[in-house]
Amino acid sequence: MQSYPFISFRNDTVLLETKIHPKASRDKIVVSDDSFDIYVKAPPDKGKANLAVLKTLSKFLDISSSSLKIIKGNTSRNKTILIQGTSKNQIETKIKNQCY
């Protein structure tokens, strides 16, 4: 299986390095070999974009948004998102199978 450089494993959690694009025309996720980009319609105002990021990612990965937490980059376009309750392998499989 392909390993993605934007995914790492720490203790029992998966860390996902992302780049956020607020005020996009639609919510979507674009994955390449070396980046994971999340586009959201919400503006970067009072945490609206962060909430949209977590909602979009939870839908993409088919997991509860309560399993996701932004641990770095709350006010930045580059964010580190902690994913609990799943393995790195499961995330990589979903990315490979669900890219859109």
Query: From CA 22, how far away is CA 41, in angstroms rounded?
Result: 6
Which of 69, 20, 19, 68 is closest to 44 using CA atoms? 20
Query: From CA 73, how far away is CA 78, in angstroms rounded?
Result: 6
pTM above 0.85, yes or no: yes
Q: Is residue 2 part of a domain?
A: no
Q: What is the domain range of residue 80?
A: 7-98
CATH number of the domain encompassing residue 38: 3.30.1200.10
Please report, in tens digits, the pLDDT of each residue of the chain (100 residues total): 567 899 998 777 899 999 999 999 999 999 988 899 999 999 999 999 999 999 999 999 989 999 999 999 999 999 999 999 888 788 888 888 765 4
Q: Is residue 54 part of a domain?
A: yes
| Number of domains, the chain | 1
Where are the alpha helices (H) located in the chain, listed in sequence order?
A: 48-61, 88-98
